[in-house]
């Protein structure tokens, strides 16, 4: 199955695209730039969405739904908003076979329509705060697209909150940033740096843009956000044989592969395998018995490895005679015999261990590929490496210097970390005074 998939070290970008398609996460749609999220990919998305949704609701958010179409006048109300989005928008000019009196934009974000409704609903400070979240699809016309990472239509979540005071609004933003950080680390097993975007990188119209930045296996940064979660999830952990999914987001935790020759062995092995599967019913651990007759066990091993199922149980006649099965971990490939009557406990214990191990591995990788840099020659050399990684370097805070740095090195300032300490120094590029270090990297 893994045949024909380029190794990560050979062509990371092609490797990614192949994995996405072969693991049946997504496929290209008839419309250029759009994708079909296939059932297996959507099952992962549902887990992402459900986990985040529960966390949002814990913070007092409620869900609502706003329309797909936005009147053109709304888009034009704020010059900055229209400048930023208009070139990326799909616009509907006809409806019901007639030209429309006012063109309708397919939402690139719901901000304008949500705030127009808030204007109607908020009579006084007593109506505040409003904490509304929306799960929706948005459209941004893209010239260069990439499955999950950049597509013309994508699924996302947008929270728009209204507060009585500025400090309360800031407090709310930081609370949500912490929710995203916790989700990335606890569910995706992807460590992130929380920070603030520089003036030139911030979202149009925003006072400040907060972000979480993660490092992928090729040492590039990815700003994690709902639309990117699936891409980040794939890129952060997977290997040359396919997906490696953190158990908390895996649609299927365990696959049982029966091994047999002839009808008598088949009956005996399948009976034990089915009993094992049934033992997990209602436990929260999802188990599938792959009893297909038309493909070999080896073929099944490869297929489920490609799909990133965390644990595989192999069970054959010799195992049965010895009262055991073989348990194989997807992340480490560790393979060990486990007594049949201890298997359920072992699996229940191993899944959270794998979740932890993935985070630990990602943390170690990030630590090994994050370096302080003081001078521009070293910075440039670092960005030329196969795995450029994150650089912590002093920066003067000037937009012109940032633009030049990007032009000269293709790297960007990913964020000003929230947890940075004041550290007077000299800007890595221009030598002007710097108040502290920022995170610089090449990015997606
Ligand atoms: Zn500078």
CATH of the domain at 291: 3.40.50.800
The answer to the question of residue 107 being in a domain is yes
Last residue within a domain, chosen from 187, 203, 237:
237
Q: In this structure, is residue 358 part of a structural domain?
A: no
Contact 2, 304 (CB under 8 A): no
CATH of the domain at 378: 3.30.110.30
> Distance, CA 409 to ligand 1 centroid (Å)?
14
Please identify every residue whose CB atom is under 5 Å from ligand 1, which is an ion.
396, 401, 427, 429-430
pLDDT tens readout for residues 78-114: 777 777 778 889 999 999 999 999 999 999 999 999 9
Ligand 1 center from residue 405 Cα (angstroms): 8
Identify the H or E element spanning 332. Answer: none
Segment 297-300 long-range contacts (CB within 8 Å, at least 24 positions apart)? 297/257, 297/258, 297/259, 299/1, 300/255, 300/257
What is the count of structural domains for the chain?
3
Same domain for 341 and 401, yes or no, is no
Ligand 1 centroid to Cα of residue 85, in Å, is 30
* Helix/strand/coil for 260: coil
Identify whether residues 124 and 67 lie together within a single domain. yes
Same structural domain for residues 176 and 103?
yes
Least confidently predicted of 6-10, 49-53, 80-84, 260-264: 80-84
The answer to the question of residue 407 being in a domain is yes
CA 222 to ligand 1 centroid distance, Å:
24
Mean local confidence (pLDDT), 38-52: 97
User: How high is the pLDDT of residue 69?
Assistant: 97
* pLDDT for 3: 67
Find the 397 Cα to ligand 1 centroid distance in Å: 7
Residue 245 maps to a domain: no
Instruction: Give the domain-ending residue among 211, 237, 263.
Output: 237
For ligand 1, the distance from its centroid to the CA atom of residue 217, given in whole angstroms, is 29
Residue 3, in any domain of the structure = no
* Cα 431 to middle of ligand 1, angstroms: 6
Cα-to-centroid distance, 102 and ligand 1 (Å): 47
Task: Give the full edge-to-edge strand order of the sheet including 287-289.
Answer: 287-289, 254-258, 311-315, 324-329, 335-339
Is residue 246, in this structure, part of any structural domain at all? no
Q: Are residues 337 and 416 in the same domain?
A: no
C-alpha 432 – ligand 1 centre gap (Å): 6
Does residue 193 sit within a domain? Answer: yes
pLDDT of residue 1: 47
Same domain, yes or no: 221 and 257: no
Which tops the pLDDT comparison, 444 or 95?
95
Tell me how far the alpha carbon of residue 263 lies from the centroid of ligand 1, in angstroms. 74
Same domain, residue pair 265 and 200: no
CA 311 to ligand 1 centroid distance, Å = 50
Under 8 Å CB-to-CB from 236, ≥6 apart: which residues?
A: 188, 189, 190, 214, 216, 217, 362
Residue 181: the pLDDT is: 95
Lowest mean pLDDT among 6-10, 46-50, 248-252, 413-417: 6-10
Query: According to the model, what pLDDT value does residue 2 have?
Result: 56
Q: Tell me which residue range forms the domain holding 415.
A: 370-441
257: pLDDT strictly greater than 50: yes
Q: Are residues 381 and 335 in the same domain?
A: no
Question: Do 381 and 436 reside in the same domain of the chain?
Answer: yes
Per the listing, tokens 């740096």 go with: 193
Residue 349 falls within a domain, yes or no? Answer: yes
The C-alpha atoms of residue 120 and residue 116 are separated, in whole angstroms, by 7
79 with 170, same domain: the answer is yes
pTM for the structure as a whole? 0.94
My answer on whether 225 and 267 are in the same domain is no
Instruction: Give the pLDDT band of residue 208 (cuts 50, 70, 90).
Output: confident
Q: Out of 186, 214, 237, pick the residue that ends a domain.
A: 237
122 lies in the same domain as 208: yes
Looking at the structure, do residues 57 and 131 belong to the same domain, yes or no? yes
CA 376 to centroid of ligand 1, rounded, Å: 10
- Cα of 55 from ligand 1 centre, angstroms: 39
User: What's the 430 CA to ligand 1 centre distance in angstroms?
Assistant: 4
């Amino acid at each position: 199955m893994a045949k024909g998939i380029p190794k990560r070290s050979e062509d990371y970008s092609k490797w990614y695209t192949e994995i996405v398609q072969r693991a049946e996460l997504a496929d290209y749609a008839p419309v250029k730039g759009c994708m079909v999220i296939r059932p297996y990919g959507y099952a992962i998305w549902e887990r992402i969405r459900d986990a985040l949704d529960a966390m949002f609701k814990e913070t007092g958010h409620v869900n609502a739904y706003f329309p797909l179409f936005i009147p053109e006048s709304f888009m034009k109300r704020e010059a900055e908003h229209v400048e930023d989005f208009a070139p990326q928008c799909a616009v509907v000019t006809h409806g019901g076979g007639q030209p429309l009196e006012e063109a309708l934009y397919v939402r690139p974000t719901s901000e304008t329509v949500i705030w127009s409704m808030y204007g109607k609903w908020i009579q006084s400070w007593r109506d505040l705060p409003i904490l509304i979240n929306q799960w929706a699809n948005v459209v941004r016309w893209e010239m260069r697209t990439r499955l999950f990472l950049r597509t013309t239509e994508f699924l996302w979540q947008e929270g728009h909150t209204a507060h009585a005071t500025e400090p309360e609004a800031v407090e709310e933003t930081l609370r949500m940033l912490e929710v995203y950080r916790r989700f990335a680390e606890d569910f995706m097993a992807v460590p992130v740096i929380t920070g603030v975007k520089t003036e030139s990188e911030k979202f149009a119209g925003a006072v400040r843009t907060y972000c979480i930045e993660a490092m992928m296996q090729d040492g590039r940064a990815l700003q994690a956000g709902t639309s990117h979660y699936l891409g980040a999830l794939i890129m952060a952990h997977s290997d040359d044989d396919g997906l490696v999914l953190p158990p908390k987001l895996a649609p299927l935790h365990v696959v049982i592969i029966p091994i047999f020759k002839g009808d008598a062995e088949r009956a005996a092995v399948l009976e034990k395998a089915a009993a094992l599967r049934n033992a997990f019913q209602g436990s929260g651990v999802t188990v599938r018995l792959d009893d297909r007759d038309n493909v070999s066990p080896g073929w099944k091993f490869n297929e489920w490895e490609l799909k990133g199922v965390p644990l595989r149980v192999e069970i054959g006649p010799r195992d049965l005679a010895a009262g055991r099965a073989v348990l194989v971990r997807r992340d480490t490939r560790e393979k060990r015999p486990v007594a049949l009557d201890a298997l359920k406990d072992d699996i229940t214990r191993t899944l959270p261990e794998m979740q932890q191990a993935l985070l630990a591995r990602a943390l170690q990788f990030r630590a090994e590929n994050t370096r302080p840099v003081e001078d521009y020659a070293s910075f440039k050399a670092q960005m030329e490496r196969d795995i450029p990684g994150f650089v912590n370097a002093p920066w003067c805070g000037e937009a012109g210097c940032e633009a030049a740095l990007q032009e000269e090195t293709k790297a960007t300032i990913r964020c000003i970390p929230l947890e940075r300490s004041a550290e007077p120094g000299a800007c890595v590029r221009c030598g002007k005074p710097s108040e502290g270090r920022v995170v610089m990297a090449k990015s997606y």
